[in-house]
Structure 1
Amino acid sequence: MAVADLVRALASGLADGAITAEELIAKVRRGAQVMEKIPTLFERDEHFRVVDRPRPDCAWVFDGEGAPTEKLDGSNVRLTVRSGHLVRVEKRRNPSKVQKQEGIVDGWYVDTDDHAAEDKWILAAARNTDVSDWPDGEHACEALGPRVQGNPLGLEKHTCVPFNLRVPALPDAPRSYSELRGYLAALESRFAPGHLAEGIVFHHPDGRRAKIKRKDFPLSA
């Protein structure tokens, strides 16, 4: 569809009441979130450790909004599903140092390659994941397993966990600097009991996200 035709169709839908402005904005935000870098809850010091100063764009977390889930430590991928079948596997590519200097901050997804050694275990995780009951669409996931990112969760097999479907919830997660620091220091992974969780991701209903990791905090009090 041409861009002009798409704009006209959206305008017509808004005018006819087929979609509301809020619904349209929410869809845009949900589509954007898989590419945008998730902000950390607090500002950082010169040593890149967080300090007790909330970031303004994460104020909604401290207002009690959004649902906390476990942040899984693996490799970010995106799986496309059609009628219960895996039809595409993509991996996240982050901007290079030069690209960052040019103002490119957010990453993007590129196709994996069956013949590329660096994609072997991502593809193994994707193909070992049962997507038969997943809804059609693109699903941002974390690829995990013995040969992915050092396997900090001690998993015995490769798999992909979709952020929108199966990431463990952490309903008891606190929201203040001091409480989060203590909570994360001893937080056991809900996905892989017996191992420490990497961190927390807060999800706002409108698609915004914010994160905090155990290693973000200073090593000493």
Structure 2
Amino acid sequence: MALKRVALEASTSVAELVRALASGLAGGVITPDELLGQVRKGIQVMEKIPTIFDRGDDFKVLPKPREGCEWVFAGEGRPTEKLDGTNVRLTIRSGHVVRVEKRRNPSKLQKQQGIIDGWYVDADEHGPEDRWIFEAVRGTEFQGWPDGEHSAEALGPSIQGNPLGLARHMVVPFNLEIPVYDDVPRTYDGLRGLFQHLESRFAPGHLAEGIVFHHPDGRRAKIKRKDFPGGAGKSR
């Protein structure tokens, strides 16, 4: 659907679009590394993290493991804290941020057109809608971050209601600083009970928003406190 939309905007067919891309590669207009870079970004965007249980008509989870998440219930994967903020992607060079992107989700119309996955777009440093993202960037030290692109969460007093009660804005990278939990249950009742008292490792004194399981092969799956009927307890 995405290729079809681009082809439509270019007044051509998908087949011609693919041939034009191949011609661009052959003619040196675009390099293989540039193309692979965009493909890798697309793969990252496509990886929408599934919830580990099926959902009912009320959109709350049911005690039925979701197909494809069997590995979680088999005890595989590392459970980390899920942070509830604004999803961003930062490009780092020599300890400095050279690009700030934010996640954009498809509109209702786009979903009707078959576009279901989100993507990253450049954030506007001077736009009021991205003010707090850049406030979080300015409040974060990047000297220890390796060069490259880092998916992360922007958090703070003016972002998503600040469920963790943070005193300042900051960016937390998913691959560097997210706390890991030990001995997490892998059953519906066990997880529902856990969320009634599971404290955030990132902001002690506040309940954790959820857990993301990371498989060694790169797969991920999640469960949030509010996914359960009744929300599995309220924030402290």
Category of TM-score, reference length = shorter chain: 0.7 to 0.9
The reply to whether residue 122 of structure 1 matches residue 133 of structure 2 is yes
CA distance in structure 2 between the partners assigned to 1:184 and 1:220 by the alignment: 9
Amino acid at match of 1:176: T
Q: Is the 8 Å Cα contact of residues 29 and 208 (structure 1) preserved in structure 2?
A: no
Question: 1:33/1:179 Cα in 2 relative to 1: closer, same or farther (>3 Å)?
Answer: farther
Q: How big is the alpha-carbon RMSD for the aligned residues of Structure 1 and Structure 2?
A: 2.2
Q: Is the 8 Å Cα contact of residues 42 and 52 (structure 1) preserved in structure 2?
A: yes
Choose which of 66, 79, 82 in structure 1 pairs with 2:90.
79
CA distance in structure 2 between the partners assigned to 1:54 and 1:3 by the alignment: 44
User: Offset of 1:207 from its aligned partner?
Assistant: 1.5
Q: Is the 8 Å Cα contact of residues 30 and 207 (structure 1) preserved in structure 2?
A: no
The reply to whether residue 184 of structure 1 matches residue 210 of structure 2 is no
CA distance in structure 1 between the partners assigned to 2:218 and 2:93 by the alignment: 23
In structure 2, the gaps of 5 or more residues are 1-21
Give the percent of matched residue pairs that are identical in Structure 1 and Structure 2: 68
SS at match of 1:196: coil
TM-score norm. by structure 2 comes to 0.80
Match of residue 215 from structure 1:
226
Match of residue 19 from structure 1:
none
User: Offset of 1:157 from its aligned partner?
Assistant: 0.5
The reply to whether residue 171 of structure 1 matches residue 182 of structure 2 is yes
Count of paired positions: 202
Q: Is the 8 Å Cα contact of residues 188 and 194 (structure 1) preserved in structure 2?
A: yes
Runs of 4+ in 1 over 4 A off after TM superposition: 1-5, 28-31
The reply to whether residue 137 of structure 1 matches residue 148 of structure 2 is yes
The reply to whether residue 92 of structure 1 matches residue 118 of structure 2 is no
Q: Is the 8 Å Cα contact of residues 80 and 179 (structure 2) preserved in structure 1?
A: yes
CA distance in structure 1 between the partners assigned to 2:225 and 2:41 by the alignment: 26
SS at match of 1:185: coil
In structure 1, the gaps of 5 or more residues are 11-27
CA distance in structure 2 between the partners assigned to 1:198 and 1:42 by the alignment: 16
Higher RCO structure (Cα 8 Å, ≥6 apart): 1
SS at match of 1:118: helix
CA distance in structure 1 between the partners assigned to 2:44 and 2:220 by the alignment: 8
Question: 1:163/1:175 Cα in 2 relative to 1: closer, same or farther (>3 Å)?
Answer: same
State how 1:197-212 maps to structure 2 within 5 Å: 197-212=208-223
The reply to whether residue 41 of structure 1 matches residue 52 of structure 2 is yes
Match of residue 6 from structure 1:
32
Specify the structure having the higher radius of gyration (Cα): 2
Amino acid at match of 1:6: P
Q: Is the 8 Å Cα contact of residues 45 and 117 (structure 2) preserved in structure 1?
A: no
Q: Render the CA deviation track for 1:158-217: whole Å, top value 9, x for unaligned.
A: 000000000011122111111001001211111001111100000112221100001101
TM-score norm. by structure 1 comes to 0.85
User: Offset of 1:65 from its aligned partner?
Assistant: 1.3
